[in-house]
Structure 1
Amino acid sequence: MAARVLAQVLVAGATVLFRAASQAWGQALVNAQKSGVASEAAQAGATAARKTGQMALQEAHMILGVDPNAPWGDVVKRFKHLFDVNEKHGSFYLQSKVYRAKECIEEEYKRLGLHEQEEDQQQQQQQQDAGRSSNGQRQQ
């Protein structure tokens, strides 16, 4: 009986120590990234972020099959195609992978300021097309 209680106390103590050590390590990585102490620590933090469920940008490009320098319109076109194809066949897993890939690339484009530029160009093109079609109707 005493051996069982002792074993339970040891397991509980080890669990508490492990959690505390892992939280301290995570906080140390965050502090290292903020202060720019070491690039290795920052890379380790990025690896930890990937393990938490965030998709890597390179993986997102591979999933959608687009070039890293592809314009936003191409990314959206590939996303819609892959999303629709997987919707018809009922593969929710693949749909979610495609959606997360688009989210990851969209976040990067917004960070670089490319997302807004692409949208502005698309809106200007639509306005020009609308102006041309209304001019064509007036001439007839």
Structure 2
Amino acid sequence: MVARYLINIVLSGTRIIASAFGKAVRSEYDASRNAAKTRANINKNTKTESIFYNDITLNESKNILSIKDENNLEEINARFKYLYDINEKSKGGTFYLQSKIYRAHEFLVDNYSNQKSTKPENSKD
């Protein structure tokens, strides 16, 4: 008799835990799907796809490369080459730092070329 009650308690507890686990998994799946849809809508509706793609902003890129003017391509390239070279693994640098420097350079060059392409060529300053 006691064994029967004990088995019923264990089975009831198992059902409750399984049900809660199922709901949690479904909820997490729905949240993940909604986040993916939101991210897709943001990328479709804005012109800042490269910001989300690289997860880096203009100010962050300028800070990483220590530049003041993002419109000076020579300065961008010079700072990139210098910082990338001194952060080589053989010189005590890390791949992480090189990646950050590379992404900052990539973002600034892309930003520079986008500004060049949208600026009218025959406008007088």
Range of TM-score over shorter length: 0.5 to 0.7
Match of 1:78 in 2: 79
2-side partners of 1:10 and 1:79: how far apart? 50
Unaligned runs of 5+ in 1: 35-46, 115-140
2-side partners of 1:19 and 1:100: how far apart? 27
Match of 2:33 in 1: 20
2:34 maps to amino acid: A
**Which whole-Å deviations, capped at 9, do the CAs of 1:47-104 have from their partners, x for residues lacking one?**
9975664211111111111112452111111111111111122322221111111111
Q: For CA contacts below 8 A with separation 6 or more, give which structure has more relative contact order.
A: 2
Sort the Cα spacing of 1:26 and 1:103 in 2 relative to 1 into closer, same or farther, 3 A: closer
The 5-angstrom pairing of residues 34-113 of structure 1 reads: 53-87=54-88, 88-113=91-116
Q: What TM-score, normalized to structure 1?
A: 0.58
Match of 2:5 in 1: none
Sort the Cα spacing of 1:13 and 1:104 in 2 relative to 1 into closer, same or farther, 3 A: same
RMSD between aligned residues: 2.9
Residue aligned with 1:66, SS: coil
Name the one with the larger helix percent.
1
Sort the Cα spacing of 1:95 and 1:69 in 2 relative to 1 into closer, same or farther, 3 A: closer
Higher gyration radius (CA): 2
**Which whole-Å deviations, capped at 9, do the CAs of 1:25-63 have from their partners, x for residues lacking one?**
3355456548xxxxxxxxxxxx99756642111111111
How many residue pairs were aligned?
102
- Say whether the 8 Å CA contact 2:70–2:76 is kept in structure 1: no
**Which whole-Å deviations, capped at 9, do the CAs of 1:104-130 have from their partners, x for residues lacking one?**
10100111128xxxxxxxxxxxxxxxx
Sort the Cα spacing of 1:69 and 1:8 in 2 relative to 1 into closer, same or farther, 3 A: closer
